[in-house]
Each structure stands twice: as C-alpha cells, then as structure tokens.
Chain A
C-alpha cells in the first residue's frame, strides 16, 4: 500500500517534470518555427516587389519606344535601338516591325500573333516564352511600327538588392506561368532535400504586378527537423531536470534535518521526563521512610515526656527510627546508581570532534541565522579523534550552543559573537571551548552553575548543565566553566583522546 503510494508519488513527480520540460521544449520549437515563417514571408514579399518593379520597366521601355518613334524616319530610329541593351542588361535585343514591314522571318509567326493580341489588349504581350532558360519576347503593338524586346530574366534579378544569399539560402524562388505548365525559371534553387524527411513547409505564390507578364512568384521553404533548436530544447530539459533534482535534494535535506532536530529534542525531553519521574518516585520512596522516621522519633519524644516516661516503648520507637533512616539512605544510594549511567562509557567510540561540532552547527543553522550569529570555529591542526558516545557528545555541544545563543539574545545583534575553539591541552585530551560574548555568568552564580535545578534564567529548569556534566562524566570527559576573562562566558568540554590501536 505504502509502496504503491510511494511509486505513485514518484511517477507523479516524473510526470510533472516531463510536462514542464515538454511544454518548454514545445514553446522553443514553436517560437523558432514562427520566426522562420515570418522571415520567409518577409523575404518572399521583398522578392515579389523587387521582381515586379523590374518587370514593369519592360513595359515602360516598350511604351517609350512606341512614343519616341519618328512618324516617318525608320532609319533614324534604327540608330537608337541598339543602344538600349547597354543601359538595360536584361534586354538582350530590340526588334522593330517597321510600318508595312514584317518581323524577322524566323520569328514572324509568334511575334505577329503576340502583336495581334497586344493590339487587342492594349498592353505588351509575351511571345516565344522559354521559362527554364529565362528567355521570352515582349511585344507591344503600336503604329506605325511595333516593337519587341528579347528579355533575359537572369539579368532582371537585382543581385545587389536581393534579400537572401542566392547560393546558400534554403528558400527556393521561381517564376512560373500560372496558366500554362511550361516549366519554371528558377531564381534561386533553395535546399535540394525537398520532398524527403519530416518537417514543415511554407509556400508563397503571387502574380507579378505587371499584367503584361503574367508570371507568378513562387517561393517555397522547407523546414527539416534538424532546424529545430535542439540544443536549447535539450538545455531546457536538462535545466528543469537539474532544478527538479536540486529541489528534491533540498527538500530531503530539510526533512532529514528536521527529523534530526526532532530526535535530539525528543532525546532531551525523554531524559528530562525520566528525571521528572525520578523526582516523583524519589519523593515517594524517600517520604515513606522519612514519615516513619519522623513519627517514630516524635512519638518517642512524647513518650519520654510523659510522667512517668514510657522508656520501653520509646526505645522500640527509636530502634524503628534508626531502621527507617537506613532505609532512606538505601533509597538515595539506589538513586545515585541509577543516575550514574555506567553504560555510556561502554558505548564510547573514536570520532572526530570537529565533525561532531559541524553536525550540531548544521542542526542549529536556522537558530543561528535567525539571531544573525556567524560562529567562528577554529581548530588546532592534527587533532586526534576523541573517545565519546556520539549522541551524548552531540547533546552536550547542542546544550552548550543553545545556552550561548540564549545568552547572546541579551546583547544587541551587532555584538553577538560566538567562538568555538578546538585545542589539544595535553597529549591525552582534546578540548572544545564554547565562548559567547553575552552578559557572562554573575560571580555569585559561578559555583552553583552545575547544581541541579539551579538556573539564572526565568523559566529555566536548571537541568541543562547538570545533564551535560553527568553525560560528560559518564564518558570520562569533563565540563567546566572557564575562569572569567573579559566579556561573556566560556565553557570547556575536555574529552579523552582516542588511543591509537
């Protein structure tokens, strides 16, 4: 049941991550595609405009020729015609059907047909179209002479204003005659991979803005899967995964810390509870013999005060009192053995003191941060491990630090200093000094500090240091208040160094 639940939770986490990663990746791809499409459409429009402008020039040239022809001087006109191709590179040649004459014999049929059509439509007409080669003639009928231009589309394309790199661009641009299926003039080839593979394609088709040359600008852009922003998409997935893992790790660490704090606190409460129960039990255990002792001796007093004194009964009462005094002392002895905790020394093991200090500081990190205290930890080099029971050691350090923190609460935040020093007073010991810059221990309190139920704090139980001391002693360590020097209080925990095996 719980296993199932854990799996479901893990699956839900995975699902959420996949959703976030997928959505991000999709958005990145979508944005890229939209940009590509927008770029494509912009380029296609520019191409359409450029080509339209160029093609319209042909109409203008023909109209000009028709207007400029002298009414009766065909020879003079002949002289101007050959000059045009040097001005307009796309015009390969200019033909003229003089009044009453005909087109060059080889071209007579098509040009005459186009001339007839032009005469009917009023604008130039195309003839002899060879789109794959980019060649055609444009004929404008006029009187007395009609003119025809031989056009090279290749030269019509304005290379210098072209918005794309003609050789490398993936966009295919061509001119087609929408009405007739006679091939296309390919302005730029685009990428050849065309039909194969997955992907998207954008298309653009629009007739040139010149009724005389009914050509469609056809642009096609194929986008392959390879053009998606894979690196960014993968990066996003990796980032979300890292964030997810980081968050999970942070959460686990938080939970673990809370659990550790809880355990430590529980341990202390349990010990204090035990102490409380002990006190209650002790009260009963001691009060019984004390009650008997008191009543027997007082009865004896009364009996001896009688006239005449009943010495025999009084003697019995006193004997009973002696017995009860012994009983009371047995109770105290039993209690002492109970508190001595001989088991701790047996559980002691070699462990690095610095690590234990770091563990407790880690546990207390939130408390330290809340009070704005940055503990200064310094350790002598090459400290040997100490012989101690891990939990008891942690409790002692925890208690000392909590005492220091509470002392520091009484001074302004700027003056809150806490120094932890690890030193080696002699070859057989390692000492931890915890020094705060709080108000210090008042002189009259110094000698009572370790007594049970003695406290300088209102609301304090007065058992913390007592407990620490008894824990320390049970491990063969000692806890002392350092002589007052300067400001604050300094406690020194001296632990036996672990002997090398």
Chain B
C-alpha cells in the first residue's frame, strides 16, 4: 500500500522507440533506479495518449519509421508540453545535434548508451521538471491570491513594494496611518506573506504588470 503510493508519486519516464528489444532493455534499466517507465512503440500513439500532467521526462529515439524523433520533439514543444526531452540516436551528426538543441532538447545521447550516462541525464531532467513545476505552481498561487485583493489594497501593495513607510503611504493616498495599517494587515493575510521580503519577492512582478 505504502509502496504503491510511493511508486505512483515517483516520476514517470515516457520511452518512445520502435524496437521492442530496446524498449524492454531500457525500461528495465530505468526501473532499477526507481523511476516508473511507460514505453511507446509508436510516436503518434504516444502523442495522443501520454499523461501531460505527470512529472518526469521523455526519451525519444531519433530514427523511427513514420515520424522522426526530431519531428515529435517539435510537435511537443508546439503543444506546450513542459516535460524535458532526451533524444537517443544511433549515428548522431553534428548537424542533427544542433537541430535537436535548437528544437529544445534537454539532452542528446548516442546509442548504445551507458547506464550511468542515461540515468544521470534522466535524473537531471526529472529534477529540472520538478523545479519548473514548483515554480509554475507558486506563480499560479500568487496570481490567484493577488486577484483577491481590493483596489485600495493593491494601491497600498504597490507603494509598499516601492519602499514607502506607512506614514508616507497615508500621505500619498490621503489616508490616516491607522487605516493604512489595517490595509497592510489584511494584505499580508490575504497573500499569505510572512515577511516584507517574501511579499516583495513574490508579488513585485504582479504589481508591475498591468
């Protein structure tokens, strides 16, 4: 039960390769470090069916019948998929490598790939993805909280971010220092900020934005 829960929370690697033996070998290898693997034989099936919300990374073979790995990479990027993509190729040319990085690949590895190289690349990719998701979530939360502020509270927040004291804010907005004090307390509560520094770090960007 506990184990199951842990595995469902562990990062998910999507592996796309047309060769069954390669899929099996790589899946087993990736599984040995505790990552979950979902293997796909066809690029189109993968594009149609994979879980975009999952945390993890995508491993693409470049040379596949039908759609090349590079094309899949470009399609993923166009669709706004945020999972890092690792490309695998049998005979990588400098040109192909350049194209891959230009298209946004996180890593470009040559087959046959050594276990340590692959696993390190995967772990890096997963860490990168987790961080980007966290940042994304924090941004999302800040935006939602900021939306709850009243117009007056936003004015006060703007002046706080500019570095004005309560007295100066009261003068600027023609309010009594006590009223400013109240707005300030409400604002900290609504935004869930614990310190002035945290408030400024999280919300300065939102105040500047229209």
A binds B: yes
Partner of A290, one of B29, B33, B112: B112
Residue of A286, A295, A296, A324 ringed by the most chain B CB atoms within 10 A? A295
Do A294 and B113 touch across chains, with their CB atoms under 8 A apart?
yes
Q: Are A291 and B22 in contact (CB under 8 A)?
A: yes
**B31, closest chain A residue (CB):** A299
Nearest A residue to B26 via CB reads: A295
CB nearest neighbor in B for A294: B112
Q: In the complex, what distance in Å separates the CA atom of A286 from the CA atom of B19?
A: 12
Known: A295-B28, A299-B29. A327 touches B91 (CB 8 A): no
Chain A neighbourhood of B32, CB < 8 A: 299, 302-303, 306
- In this complex, how many residues of chain A approach chain B with their Cβ under 8 Å: the count is 27
Bound Cα distance A289, B21 (Å): 7
Taking CB atoms, residues of chain A closer than 8 Å to B88 are: 291
Chain B residues in 8 Å Cβ range of A303: 32
Could you say which of B28, B63, B88, B111 has the most chain A C-beta atoms within 10 Å of its C-beta?
A: B28
Which residues of B68-120 have CB atoms within 8 Å of chain A's CB atoms? 88, 90-91, 111-115, 118
Select which of A284, A288, A289, A299 is within 8 A of B115 by beta carbon. Answer: A299
* Beta-carbon contact of A288 and B28 below 8 Å: no
Select A291's contact among B31, B33, B112, beta carbons within 8 Å: B112
Contact: B28 with A296, CB < 8 Å? yes
Cβ of B25 within 8 Å of any chain A Cβ, yes or no, is: yes
In the complex, A317 has a CB within 8 A of chain B: yes
Residues on B with beta carbons closer than 8 Å to the beta carbon of A290: 111-112
Complex contacts, B115 vs chain A, CB 8 Å: 294-295, 298-299, 301-302
Asked whether B25 lies within 8 Å of A320 as measured between CB atoms, the reply is yes
* Chain B residues within 8 Å of A301, by CB: 115
What's the minimum C-beta distance from B28 to chain A, rounded to whole angstroms? 4
Judge if B24 is at the interface, Cβ distance under 8 Å: yes
A414 at interface, CB cutoff 8 A: no
Is the pair B112, A287 in contact by a Cβ cutoff of 8 Å? yes
For A295, list chain B residues within 8 Å (CB): 22, 25-26, 28-29, 112-113, 115, 118
Interface: A243 (CB within 8 A): no
A327-B33 Cα distance, complex, nearest whole Å? 27
Closest chain-A Cβ to B95's Cβ sits at a distance in Å of 13
Residues of A close to B21: CB separation below 8 A? 288-289, 292, 320, 323-324, 327
Supposing A283-B90, A299-B115, A302-B115 touch, asked if A291 and B25 sit within 8 A by C-beta, the answer is yes
Find residues 271-297 in chain A having any chain B CB closer than 8 Å to their own CB: 280, 283-284, 286-296
- A313 contacts the other chain (Cβ, under 8 Å)? yes
- Distance of A90 Cα from B113 Cα, bound (Å): 131
Q: How far in angstroms is the closest Cβ of chain B from A298?
A: 4
Which residues on the A side are within 8 Å of B114 (C-beta)? 294, 298
Q: How far is the CA of A420 from the CA of B25 in the complex (A)?
A: 58
- Interface hits, A285-339 → B, CB 8 Å: 286-296, 298-299, 301-303, 306, 313, 317, 320-321, 323-324, 327
Chain A hits for B29, CB < 8 A: 295-296, 298-299, 302
State in angstroms the CA–CA spacing of A438 and B202 once bound together: 77
Bound complex: CA A286 to CA B112 (Å): 9
Which of B33, B90, B113 is the one whose CB lies under 8 Å from A288? Answer: B90
Q: Which residues in A have their C-beta under 8 angstroms from that of B112?
A: 287, 290-291, 293-295
Interface of chain B residues 165 through 194 with chain A (CB within 8 A): none
A292 CB contacts on chain B under 8 angstroms:
19, 21-22, 24-26
CB distance from B147 to the nearest CB of A (A): 49
Q: How far is the CA of A323 from the CA of B28 in the complex (A)?
A: 16
Q: For residues 1 through 43 of chain B, which have their beta carbon under 8 Å from a beta carbon of chain A?
A: 19, 21-22, 24-26, 28-29, 31-33
Interface residues of A in 379-424 (CB under 8 A from B): none
Q: Flag if B113 contacts A291 (CB, 8 Å).
A: yes
In the complex, which residues of chain A have a beta carbon less than 8 angstroms from the beta carbon of B31?
Answer: 299
Q: In the complex, how many angstroms separate the beta carbon of B41 from the nearest chain A beta carbon?
A: 13
Tell me whether A288 and B25 are in contact (CB under 8 A): no
Q: How far is the CB of A316 from chain B (nearest CB, A)?
A: 8
Is the Cβ of A313 less than 8 Å from the Cβ of B28? yes
Q: Which residues of B contact A313 (CB under 8 A)?
A: 28
A to B CB contacts below 8 Å, 20 in the list: A284-B90, A284-B91, A286-B90, A287-B111, A288-B19, A288-B21, A288-B90, A291-B19, A291-B26, A292-B21, A292-B24, A292-B26, A293-B112, A294-B114, A296-B29, A298-B114, A299-B31, A302-B29, A306-B32, A317-B28
Spell out B's residues near A (CB within 8 Å): 19, 21-22, 24-26, 28-29, 31-33, 63, 88, 90-91, 111-115, 118
Residues of A within 8 A of B (CB): 280, 283-284, 286-296, 298-299, 301-303, 306, 313, 317, 320-321, 323-324, 327
Rank and list the top 5 A-B pairs by shortest CB-CB distance, nearest first.
A287-B90, A295-B25, A292-B21, A298-B115, A283-B91
Given contacts A294-B114, A296-B25, 17 further A-B contacts (CB under 8 A): A287-B91, A287-B111, A287-B112, A288-B111, A291-B88, A292-B19, A292-B21, A294-B25, A295-B25, A295-B28, A295-B29, A295-B112, A299-B25, A302-B29, A302-B33, A313-B28, A323-B21
